[in-house]
Chains A and B, each alone.
Chain A
């Protein structure tokens, strides 16, 4: 193999990878639309799409149209955006914080979102201007601000950020519990608990439109900084000595993570383990270099959450299991498996 031939070969395999990734994602979305309590044949799905996209005028049962177009497709797309966003957030945080346990909820974002949502529903903060999602978004960003400020005041290291994140999460979780205990009735409390555990049931098109741009933008930012994230392998100081504008890269990447996580949590509640397990699993498959890890994690996250959503609809007939419960049920043993298989040689 001559040296000159290598880049061309690489580029061809790039194209192949992208095509394969797109195909896998498409299949997963199709599965999300087809599988459910009422299984719908592919032909019906194709007809609904033809009608919607090209005005084909095919005759389809309006109930099937409703299930496919208004119910399953938006929630499947949001599941994909959400899974990819959470997995990307995990990749970024594990690279920047240099801690294997870093995940999107580490920065207190999820706890803040919960507190914000509760403040809106129970206390009526925002006077009806903020919906539950708006409240969650504000809470998430606020919590991250508190955590970042605390980490800075403590000296600004990655260990400080982890500790500040724990403190911030505890604070906002306590705030949530306090608000629920003080003012919620049993009905409200149950609703909030359900929402906090992650839930895609209420997802409609406006939610998808809101979330859809966030994940691709976050993905491109992560891909753009893939080499910079590699450079953080030996720490912040080493990254700086390799020519990385550390502060700027940190702000861009943490900004992208906060935006993605806050958006997802505010739309679907907190879905644990995706941000933690998917990047680790993908490291195992494609290695630690971010040029591969970023796209692989985004894809795996999207597919994983689509599958988890299908499972959450199918596990108990007639009832939806919170998707956060499904991801944790699969994620925790998955994580244990990765830990054991990856164990350091003594």
Chain B
């Protein structure tokens, strides 16, 4: 499903957090969002999901402005995993994933066998099936992250918006998550910290000070000059002899 942003902006008081961002994500594409801390990645993702009020500009979902769609319509198409998810309720893992079915249920269409199957499949996909009966409160950070991703999968969205989904995950689960996401037949927009992982995206958008300063194929976007100016690191491109892939090594010269 096609997602478009036209001169999107958001301000907190007089401070502009995101300014004049326009981008287009093609159906099935994986767009990575990178940029230093506080550059506006999370805010941009929330804008794309229609979760912030007082925004300027428009977001188009398959050509239709988000503002013309109901929250339920949007939630059937876009699933979001935010950076932080906290609850004081004593929910089980299964309860949390079942929340993902919310946009598809109503008083007349209660939770049924099909929903149960979708939830089980989502738990399976992130390797949490055997922990379905555990209490959410007892999970580790990485396990919580995977449960939230299962919840998003259970939403059966056409677009996945993920804010640093590999945070807290061990290296095995980082890579398996990225592979899972890449293999899904959905459009993905995700903020990433690890620039080597970002190389796996179809395209990368770079945020700096609330503006999008570059957008294109990873190889072009991650030039050593840009890495120096925006991320303030000196980068060396290396080639992995195993598969000829590009790998970065970073050095920081500032104290």
Contacts and interface: CB of A to CB of B under 8 A. Distances in A.
B112 interface: yes
26 contacts: A3-B113, A6-B113, A224-B107, A228-B102, A230-B95, A231-B102, A233-B87, A233-B89, A233-B96, A233-B99, A235-B86, A235-B87, A237-B51, A238-B85, A240-B71, A241-B49, A241-B51, A242-B100, A242-B102, A242-B103, A243-B71, A243-B73, A243-B75, A245-B71, A287-B90, A288-B89
A237 B46 contact: yes
Contact of B88 (A7, A100, A224): A100
B5 to A, nearest CB: 17
Nearest to A2: B113
A204 interface: no
Contacts of A63: none
Please tell me the size bucket of the interface on B.
Answer: 35 or more
B102 A227 contact: yes
Interface string A281-313: 001000111000000000000000000000000
A40 to B, nearest CB: 43
A344 B90 CA distance: 10
B225 interface: no
Given A238-B85, A240-B71, A288 B102 contact: no
A316 interface: no
Interface string A241-273: 111111000000000000000000000000000
A233 B136 CA distance: 12
Interface of A: 3-4, 6-7, 98, 100, 224, 227-228, 230-231, 233-235, 237-238, 240-246, 283, 287-289, 342, 344-345
Nearest to A98: B88
B39 interface: no
B80 A241 contact: yes
Contact of B138 (A227, A246, A345): A345
B138 to A, nearest CB: 7
Given A224-B107, A243-B73, 18 more contacts: A3-B117, A228-B102, A230-B95, A231-B99, A233-B91, A233-B96, A234-B87, A237-B51, A238-B85, A240-B51, A241-B78, A241-B80, A241-B82, A245-B72, A246-B71, A287-B90, A288-B90, A345-B138
B239 interface: no
B74 interface: yes
B151 to A, nearest CB: 9
Interface of B: 46, 49, 51, 70-76, 78-80, 82, 85-91, 95-96, 99-100, 102-103, 105, 107, 112-113, 116-117, 137-138, 155
B99 to A, nearest CB: 6
B88 A245 contact: no
Contacts of A242: 75, 99-100, 102-103, 155
Contacts of A238: 82, 85
A242 to B, nearest CB: 4
A245 B70 contact: yes
Nearest to B148: A234
Most central of A6, A7, A237, A242 by chain B CB within 10 Å: A242
A192 B8 CA distance: 58
A232 to B, nearest CB: 9
B229 to A, nearest CB: 33
Nearest to B85: A234
Given A243-B74, A244-B71, A245-B72, A230 B99 contact: yes
A243 B51 contact: no
B206 to A, nearest CB: 25
A231 B74 CA distance: 15
Contacts of A234: 85-87, 99
B116 A6 contact: yes
A227 to B, nearest CB: 6
Contact of B76 (A235, A243, A245): A243
The 4 A-B residue pairs with the shortest CB-CB distance in the complex, in nearest-first order: A243-B75, A243-B103, A243-B72, A288-B89
B113 A7 contact: yes
B65 to A, nearest CB: 17
B158 to A, nearest CB: 14
A228 B103 CA distance: 10
B90 A243 contact: no
Contacts of A235: 86-87
A233 B89 CA distance: 7
A297 B173 CA distance: 41
Given A233-B89, A288-B95, A241 B117 contact: no
A87 B79 CA distance: 34
Nearest to A246: B71
